[in-house]
Amino acid sequence: MAHFACTGVHLPFWSLWLASIGVSAEWTGVLLALGHGVSMGTSPLAGRIADRRGPRALMGPLAAVAVAGFALFHGARGVPSLAVLTLLTFGAHGALLPLAESISQRQAGAGRVRYGRVRLWGSLSFVAASTLAGALVERSGEGVIPWMLAAGAAGCWVASRGLPADEPGEDVRPGATATAVAWGPLVRVLALSSLVQASHAVYYGFGSLTWAAQGFGDTEIGALWALGVLAEVVFFAASPRFLSRTDPVSLVLAGAAFATARWVLLAHVRGGPGVSVLQTLHAVSFGATHLGTMEFVRRHVPASRLAAVQGIYTAVAGASYALVTPFAGALFARYASGA
């Protein structure tokens, strides 16, 4: 929950904070890409170590680095210093999520939890944080954003201390071997999912700037982000029904179809009601894509390899964002909402 609270501040408001200290749209795209791309290295490495030593052993130190990094952003100016802090901070913070996901997947594989029902609490944390951040930014200005991120990372550190002791991954799937991974199908699904998620690059990086230019206030912008994630929460709550009626790959393909419709329409729709309706499509463009991917991983990867594969997925998704986001920045600078 603490990690997603950070994301609830970062995604809607980081580009606004960068703009407030004079960073251009083109350089904003580059810095956002660095933040996503650095996970290409840190997430697989953290996952591989976690499969040997356990996720908890890494999560505390990674969270501590993120706390320090976000706090240092407050006084940072100039692209070079921002780039260095981006690599260190988001490299550490980004590696936390696949470790947490691997714990959830192990519990789901053992039949103790349903992944969608657990994941929705992260989405609710995102909603609460984005709503609070919108109100605070409107009241106090963009300078509060790095401090809110540092507070969220501190929450990650506290939560990591309360995790159960690390145990070796025990595979509970019938007939599974300790190390077998069906790499061919897995790579195809991870690539497909990453491309769908990368299509969100303009929205994540420049949605808030677009809505601000269209006259939305900071509180309204935070509410729009919250609405999209609330739709995602509803989807995750109903996830057992979806999984009982369809296969994981079909969910990812549905995410691709709805994402296409969402971006085409969002480029042309103006005004709160229309944008609000389109925000509910986040339930499928992100939610169905993510749930389908996680369920496919759970069914095809031994528990003893979950952290490593989660790290690989984060790396592939980070690579997709890293490739797409600079182009998103250039397109936004030229075409605004038409990007």
Q: For 262-275, how does the pLDDT look when each residue is reduced to its tens digit (9 = 90+)? A: 999 988 888 888 99
* Prediction pTM value: 0.68
Q: Look up residue 55 and give its DSSP letter.
A: T
SS3 of 270, please?
coil
Instruction: Identify which has the larger pLDDT, 131 or 176.
Output: 131
- The Cα 137–Cα 154 span in angstroms is 20
SS3 of 216, please?
coil
Confidence of residue 181 (pLDDT cuts 50, 70, 90): low
Average pLDDT over the chain, rounded to an integer: 82
Nearest to 91 by CA among 322, 323, 330, 328: 322
Nearest to 91 by CA among 56, 29, 55, 39: 39
State pLDDT tens for residues 2-25.
Answer: 878 888 788 778 888 888 888 888
* pLDDT > 90 fraction of the chain, expressed in percent and rounded: 19
Confidence of residue 112 (pLDDT cuts 50, 70, 90): low
- The Cα 226–Cα 222 span in angstroms is 6
CA angle 191/195/196 to nearest 5° reads 120
Instruction: Identify which has the larger pLDDT, 111 or 128.
Output: 128
CA angle 328/329/330 to nearest 5° reads 95
State pLDDT tens for residues 200-243.
Answer: 988 888 888 888 888 888 788 878 888 888 898 899 888 888 88
Confidence of residue 172 (pLDDT cuts 50, 70, 90): very low
The pLDDT assigned to 174 comes to: 39
The whole-number average pLDDT for the span 123-130 is 81
The whole-number average pLDDT for the span 42-60 is 77
The whole-number average pLDDT for the span 316-321 is 77
- The Cα 8–Cα 288 span in angstroms is 19
CA angle 201/205/211 to nearest 5° reads 115
